[in-house]
Amino acid sequence: MSGSGLSGLVAQAYEAACDTTGMASFVEHTAEYFGAQQSAITITPNKHPEVFLPITHGISTEAIRTLFDARERQGTLFANLVEIPTGQTIALDGYDRPELVGHELTRRRSDASLDSVNVLAGVVVADDNNRCDLLLFRDKSHGEFSPSEHEALRELMSYLRRAIELNKRFVKMFVEHRTAISVIDNAP
In a domain, 180, yes or no: no
In a domain, 187, yes or no: no
How many distinct structural domains can be found in the chain?
1
Among residues 137, 157, 136, 167, which one has the least CA distance to residue 87?
Answer: 157
In a domain, 184, yes or no: no
In a domain, 178, yes or no: no
What pLDDT is recorded for position 100? Answer: 39
pTM of the model as a whole: 0.76
How confident is the model over 20-70, as pLDDT tens digits?
Answer: 678 888 899 999 999 999 999 998 988 998 889 899 999 999 989 988 998
DSSP string spanning the chain? -GGGHHHHHHHHHHHHTT-HHHHHHHHHHHHHHHT-SEEEEEEEETT-GGG-EEEEESS-HHHHHHHHHGGGSTTSHHHHHHTS-TT-EEEEEEEE-GGGTTT---B-S-TT-TTEEEEEEEEEEE-SSEEEEEEEEEEGGG-PPPHHHHHHHHHHHHHHHHHHHHHHHHHHHHHHHHHHHHHHHT--
pLDDT along the chain (188 residues), means of 10: 63 67 87 94 90 91 90 87 92 62 44 66 90 92 90 90 74 73 77
Range(s) of the domain holding residue 49: 2-163
CATH of the domain at 128: 3.30.450.40
In a domain, 30, yes or no: yes
Per-residue buried b or exposed e for 40-77, using 16+ beta carbons within 10 Å of the residue's own CB: bbbbbeeeeeeebebbbbebeeebbbbbbebbeeeebb
In a domain, 181, yes or no: no
Separation CA 7–CA 176 (nearest Å)? 33
Half-sphere exposure of 12 (CA within 13 A, CB side): 21
